[in-house]
Amino acid sequence: MANHPSAEKRNRQRITRTQRNRSIRSSVRTAVKQARTAIAAGDAGAAERVRAAISALATAASRRVLHKKTAARATSRIQAALAKLS
């Protein structure tokens, strides 16, 4: 329980940031999952799904929701899987 005004403010900020980060992280996971599913199925639109996933990963990394190397690693793996498909 916060006992000082500054601690109460930090708690409000924490709640706001957590909600924002959760939303971004969820959209990234969805995009990556859709890309992997499209690659596994061999869909014609797999390249478009991969582009959307890469964009979502880059956005999350720039907003510091994900570490930049985590995003880079995921991007690399998705691109490698797409290249193997082609």
pLDDT at res. 1: 78
* pLDDT tens digits, 17-71: 999 999 999 999 999 999 999 999 998 899 999 999 999 999 999 999 999 999 9
Task: Indicate the pLDDT class of residue 83, thresholds 50, 70 and 90.
Answer: very high
In sign, the C-alpha dihedral spanning 48, 53, 56, 62 is negative
pLDDT score of 55: 98
Average pLDDT (68-85) is 97
- For residue 9, what are the CA distances in angstroms to 13, 17, 22, 49, 80? 6, 12, 20, 40, 45
| Contacts with 5 (C-beta within 8 Å, 6 or more apart), sequence order | none
Residue 72 has pLDDT above 80, yes or no: yes
